[in-house]
Amino acid sequence: MPKYDLLLKGGRVLDPSQDLDCVCDVAVTKGVITGMAPDLSWTDAGRAIDVSGTIVMPGLVDFHTHAYWGVCEYGVDPDLTFLPRGTTTILDVGSAGAITLPGFRHYVVERSRTRIKALLHVNTAGMTHSVGELIGLQYLDPERTAAVAKENADLIVGIKVRLSRNVAGENDWQAFQAARKAAELAGIPLMVHFGSSFTPLAQVLDAMRPGDILTHCFSGRANNIMDEKGRLLPEVWAAVRRGVNVDVGHGMGSFNFDTASAALKQGLLPTTISSDLHAYSQPYPVIDLLTVMSKFVYVLGLPLGEVVRRATAVPAQLLGLADVAGSLRVGAPADVAVVRELAGQFELWDADKNSRLSPNLLTPFLTLRAGEVF
Ligand SMILES: [Zn+2]
């Protein structure tokens, strides 16, 4: 019997959870990482793949996705969408509400190879697209939302609310307060989607608590994190100091190169770098999380290791999954993203139709999920 089922030979292993950046072989046995060393022998492995010239990262953890395919209009099929593109763990952010969660668990979470955690929408019918889910508030029910979140604590890690004008109209403050209440009753964080909202962002930020998440943080839309002179709002700094997390959530309307660049220059780093990949954003401009990460590395100039950390170890920890995701340490499930760094000229687009030329692009080569090759 070979010692290992699978050997990934000769890649650059980049694992911020272990402060590791080296050319190393990675061995996998029974779906678990069982070895990492510069020269593991081919002859000890049932199968070996030459990954020299690639970057071997922990399977990506995407902190903002929509995966309730066939029920929520935004939903994509997780296994078809994420696993071939380096992402092995996702957070679905509020596709389901208290009424529709059982279907999400049964038809999506339990049947997917992708590891899934979710936020529960404070709208009990979940998220909708054609008509914003909070234009009417008939389905707003913080008590029921909190109760269902508690009953499903293995899956639900937070509450979600969307506050843009097309989603909530002028109801956004009322919806926010209901979501705030649900999160408090359930004792879990709240994720706030922001952009072109009715209520000023400063008012919302002041009501956010440590552990809460502001998503779409680098939106270029009206009422964003900047004042009219392009300086970060003092309320943003106050929230970050209190322990509020800021998440990228690129999507189709919520990432602007100028906002991101100005925020980074003023010292605001996103806690998590996520895609907001959904049925409408995936074809353009998101494509996948690696493309979003490429914008931060090659256009905005963040170090690759810091970008990988914010798409692996940090979100894994926020999801309570640090033991099983976001790391290549020996003993962890073999969730691995093998990534190529292409060189050339690549036109990368933000969500406001601005493009930048990039000399490099991260693209998927292969993914392992619990040792299985995709
Ligand atoms: Zn989203």
CATH of the domain at 23: 2.30.40.10
From the CA of 360, how far away is ligand 1's center (Å)? 27
CATH of the domain at 160: 3.20.20.140
Residue 107, φ and ψ in degrees, nearest 5: -90, -20
Judge whether 324 lies within some domain.
no
Q: Let me know whether 238 and 119 are in one domain.
A: yes
Q: Residue 88 — φ and ψ, nearest 5°? A: -110, -15
Q: Domain check: are 39 and 146 in the same one?
A: no
CA of 97 to the centre of ligand 1 (A): 14
User: How many Å apart are CA 124 and CA 182, to the nearest integer?
Assistant: 11
Task: Kindly state the DSSP code that residue 59 receives in the 8-state scheme.
Answer: P
Give the pLDDT of residue 164: 87
The answer to the question of residue 247 being in a domain is yes
Q: How far, in Å, from the CA of 278 to the mean position of ligand 1?
A: 7
249: CA distance to ligand 1 center in Å? 6
Contact at 8 Å (CB) between 42 and 83?
Answer: no
Ligand 1: centre distance to CA 127 (Å): 10
What is the rounded (10 degree) CA torsion for 257, 259, 264, 265? 100
Question: What is the domain range of residue 11?
Answer: 4-57+329-373
pLDDT for position 1: 83
- CA 124 to ligand 1 center in whole angstroms: 17
**What pLDDT score does 283 carry?**
87
Please give the structure tokens belonging to residue 369.
């999920």
**Is 263 domain-assigned?**
yes
pLDDT, position 24: 95
Into how many domains does the chain fold? 2
- The domain boundary residue, chosen from 296, 318, 340: 318
The answer to whether residues 308 and 176 belong to one domain is yes
Distances in Å between the alpha carbon of 286 and those of 34, 72, 102, 163?
Answer: 34, 19, 29, 21
**How far, in Å, CA of 29 to CA of 33, rounded?**
6
Determine the distance separating the centroid of ligand 1 and the alpha carbon of 168, expressed in angstroms.
14
Q: Are 39 and 21 in a shared domain?
A: yes
Expressed in angstroms and rounded, the spacing between residue 333 Cα and the centre of ligand 1 is 28
d(CA 327, CA 110): 23
Tell me, yes or no, whether 132 and 254 share the same domain: yes
Q: State which residues of the chain have pLDDT below 70.
A: none
In a domain, 102, yes or no: yes
pTM (whole model) above 0.75: yes
Q: Taking the CB of residue 182, how many other CB atoms lie within 10 A of it?
A: 29
Closest CA to 123 of 140, 135, 138, 144: 140
Domain-embedded: residue 130: yes
Residues 41 and 81 in one domain: no
Specify if 282 maps to a domain: yes
Q: Are residues 300 and 355 in the same domain?
A: no
Q: How far is the CA of 53 from the centre of ligand 1 (A)?
A: 34
The first and second tokens of residue 371, run together, are: 């040792």
Note whether 231 and 344 are same-domain residues.
no
Same domain, 120 and 20: no
Distance CA 176, CA 174 (A): 5
Tell me the CA–centroid distance for residue 248 and ligand 1, in Å: 10
pLDDT of residue 62: 98
Let me know whether 254 and 166 are in one domain.
Answer: yes
pLDDT given for residue 36 in this prediction? 96
Residue 66 Cα, ligand 1 centroid: separation in angstroms? 7
Query: For residue 59, which amino acid is it?
Result: G
Looking at the structure, tell me whether residues 64 and 51 fall in a common domain: no
* pLDDT, position 160: 98
Distance 74 CA to ligand 1 centre (A): 8
